[in-house]
Structure 1
């Protein structure tokens, strides 16, 4: 695993969600949900949601080791006056690589690639038991919005959006 004290830029590669590196990290984030919430994230995810023209899935590498994921998929959620939105999904950085700005790098990459695909705003859902994620989104200019989709009405859920 990369040395936590080094500052290295994340190499981000677009991959299918079914790629072994992507699957390894998706399973790791599911284990994190089990630890924090007592169960896996059961919101529906279709691998085709992350293929053109619907969305994109990315894996971030440090020293050729997969350490982060992030994705976006087109959404019908109206937010901040935007007509064309996409939902951020599967943002995750492995514990050994956290607190190095990698999630912020991945989020910026998602914003750039979504904007290049014509997306006007990103929406996302995160949980109350993920204060570091809430802080990342707030400090990156995301604003609270009403709940949407699978977690609409959940007391543990917090939703955000940002025009890009």
Structure 2
């Protein structure tokens, strides 16, 4: 199973600065521990210096990541506050019938609410469902409904 790890990077910052990215390692570790067969793609891992990219390079990376979101099996979006880039990634996965999982307290936000198959209000609730095996079963059921996935 291929998972795209989406999540807030720049958010609403006006300058060339990123939000704390520690959630990425935490999610990767959790996924590898409980679903060792998954392949996790973290867009930041290969683009740590993305804030310094030329406009041409940044556009290429941005558009490529959005294409990837429609090709993976699952997109996990960490959205503690609004994130335009993450919203686009969620939309691309959603419209391609990929499983979209949001980890966000923004449960009334329309992107979170209507472009996610599953919503967890925090990492703790996500981890509990992952550790119990319930998350894997929910993913499989959603994939069966849409006829997608490469399990």
Q: Return the TM-score normalized by structure 2.
A: 0.36
Structure with bigger RCO (C-alpha 8 Å, 6+ apart): 2
Task: Give 1 or 2: higher helix fraction.
Answer: 2
